[in-house]
């Protein structure tokens, strides 16, 4: 099975600055750690790195850091951090990113923003610039914000938008599963109605706080397939965010107090769960686990790289964002 992980994070707080890492996530997750989390049955394994919400000043530095590991880790694309609602500051940052050929998209993390941000005039202007560069947009939102990104998709039909983690629906846990809510189903369908939208089969184990089963999450996978069709779905691990939970059986490093910890096999278990679901439903497993993400992020298309002059303006970018 070929695997293209469409949603993988890396971080190192000795290199970059993050304000949100805590608990079992407050450790280095980079090259060495990823090598121990590989999917054993994958004949080929590649990944798209998605920005890990550094502080704004480190957005460009994060791209450069990942570039340094890309070849040996199989990183074939980078979704860079960006703030799309800052006018000339946004334009300056996008120009800098354009000097980096691995950049295939951007993410302005919307889940913590006020409702309406994605359809504000400033944001739409920034999103149009992303589309003009041929890049994709990763929409990380909560279920209540789905209507906003649906409106964004309608306003900019040339912008390819992928919904991270299916908008984080409430899924419950393996012991107390929840069924998809009527509101989420309705809003997911409205978003998916736009042909420029895709869905990531990612993050659901994280929404279950690591207490998940394949059976519990099948209704959500079915709903995504009903909304998008198999041709607009892609698998993502959300590693390492979605591999935190109760210690796995036999883990010699399990915390003595029973607290949540890193689950070494969770990334593989999620890949197997999605591939098995797709095969059982008669969906194209190779498309969902590999091909759709390649098409969405245009990984097989020639990339136009901006002039090297852009990176020299990094100091200007920093001053503008601090202002």
DSSP-assigned letter for residue 236 = -
Bridge partner residues of 199 (DSSP): 163, 233
Q: What are phi and psi of 14, to 5 degrees?
A: -85, -15
303 pLDDT band (50/70/90 cuts)?
confident
Q: Is the pLDDT of residue 167 over 50?
A: yes
| Torsional class of 267: left (φ above 0), alpha (ψ -120 to 50), beta (otherwise) | alpha
207 pLDDT band (50/70/90 cuts)?
very high
Helix ranges (H only) for 38-87 are 59-67, 70-73
Helix ranges (H only) for 159-203 are 182-192
What pTM does this model have?
0.94
- Can you give the residue ranges of every domain in the chain? 2-322
Can you tell me the distance from the alpha carbon of 240 to that of 30, in angstroms, rounded to the nearest whole number?
10
Can you tell me the distance from the alpha carbon of 214 to that of 223, in angstroms, rounded to the nearest whole number?
14
Give percent of the chain above pLDDT 70.
94
311 pLDDT band (50/70/90 cuts)?
very low
pLDDT at 321: 27
185 pLDDT band (50/70/90 cuts)?
very high
- pLDDT tens per residue across span 27-75: 999 999 999 999 999 999 999 999 999 999 999 999 999 999 999 999 9
2-322 is a CATH 3.20.20.140 domain: yes
* Chain CA centroid to CA 61, Å: 19
Give the chain's mean pLDDT.
Answer: 94
């Amino acid at each position: 099975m070929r695997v293209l992980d469409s949603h993988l994070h890396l971080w190192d707080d000795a290199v970059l600055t993050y304000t949100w890492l805590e608990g079992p996530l407050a450790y280095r997750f980079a090259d060495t750690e990823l090598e121990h989390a590989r999917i054993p049955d994958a004949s080929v394994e590649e990944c798209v790195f998605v920005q890990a919400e550094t502080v704004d000043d480190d957005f460009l530095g994060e791209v450069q850091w990942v570039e340094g590991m890309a070849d040996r880790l199989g990183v074939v694309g980078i979704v860079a951090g960006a703030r799309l609602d800052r006018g000339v500051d946004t334009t300056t940052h996008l120009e800098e990113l354009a000097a980096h050929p691995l950049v295939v998209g951007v993410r302005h993390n919307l889940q913590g923003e006020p409702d309406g941000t994605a359809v504000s005039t400033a944001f739409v202007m920034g999103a149009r610039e992303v589309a003009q560069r041929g890049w994709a947009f990763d929409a990380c939102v909560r279920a209540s914000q789905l209507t906003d990104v649906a409106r964004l998709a309608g306003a900019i039909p040339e912008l390819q938008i992928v919904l991270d983690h299916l908008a984080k629906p409430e899924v419950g846990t393996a012991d107390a599963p929840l069924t998809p809510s009527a509101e989420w189903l309705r809003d997911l369908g409205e978003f998916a109605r736009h042909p420029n939208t895709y869905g990531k089969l990612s993050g659901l184990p994280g929404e279950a706080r690591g207490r998940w089963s394949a059976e519990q999450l099948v209704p959500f996978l079915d709903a995504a397939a009903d909304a998008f069709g198999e041709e607009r779905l892609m698998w993502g691990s959300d590693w390492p965010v979605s591999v935190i939970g109760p210690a796995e059986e036999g883990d010699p490093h399990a915390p003595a107090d029973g607290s949540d910890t890193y689950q070494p096999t969770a990334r593989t278990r999620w890949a197997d769960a999605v591939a098995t679901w797709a095969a059982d439903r008669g969906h194209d497993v190779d498309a969902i686990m590999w091909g759709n993400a390649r098409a969405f992020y245009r990984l097989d298309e020639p990339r136009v790289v901006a002039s090297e002059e852009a990176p020299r303006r990094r100091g200007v970018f920093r001053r503008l964002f601090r202002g």
